[in-house]
Amino acid sequence: MAEEFFHMETDAEPFPKADVLERFLAKFIDFLVMGAFFAFPTFIGPLAGITYILISDGLKGGQSLGKRVVGLKVVSAETREICGLRPSVIRNSPFALLMVFWFIVGWIPYLGKALFLAATLLVIGFEMVLVYTDERGARLGDRIAETVVIGRE
C-alpha cells in the first residue's frame, strides 16, 4: 500500500515533466500573493492568504497566478483533466497547514518562530526532494491529490 502511494504509474503517454526551476518560481510567486493577502487587517488577511494558497491551482485552466505567469498547469494524473478546486485544496494542504501551525505557535517568543521555521524547512525541503527525484515531479501533495504539474505541451 505504501509503495502504491509513493509510486504513481499510468499506462498513458508520459507527461511533459515541468522544469523544477519553473515550478519553484511559480510557487514563489504564489507565496508572494499569499503574503500580500496577509497584509490585510485583522483576521481577513490571513484567512484570504490561506484560502488563496488552497484554491490557487483550481483556478481557470488549472493554473495559479504563479503557474499562469510561468506557463505551467496542474492536471489529474489519471485522466489528464484540468485540476479543480477539490484536488487543489488537497494538493496544497501541506502549505496551508504550515500557516495554521504559525497561528498556533507563532505567538511564543523566539521558540514559536524557531518551530515554525523548522517545520517550514522540513515541509518545503521534503517537497523539493520529491519534485526533483520523482520521474514525473510529483510532490507529496500531488501524490495525495493524484495530480501532476506539467509544462508547455
CB 49 within 8 A of CB 99: yes
C-alpha 79/C-alpha 75 separation (Å) is 8
C-alpha 128/C-alpha 59 separation (Å) is 23
Grid coordinates representing 55 are 484554491
DSSP for 22-74 reads HHHHHHHHHHHHHHHHHTSSTTHHHHHHHHHHHHGGGSGGG--HHHHHHT-EE
CB 101 within 8 A of CB 119: yes
pTM beyond cutoff 0.75: yes
Domain ranges in the chain are 2-150
What pLDDT was estimated at residue 14? 65
What pLDDT was estimated at residue 143? 93
What pLDDT was estimated at residue 2? 47
The stretches in the chain having pLDDT less than 50 are: 1-3, 5-8, 10
C-alpha 74/C-alpha 16 separation (Å) is 12
Residue 47, number of CB atoms within 10 A of its CB: 14
What pLDDT was estimated at residue 18? 86
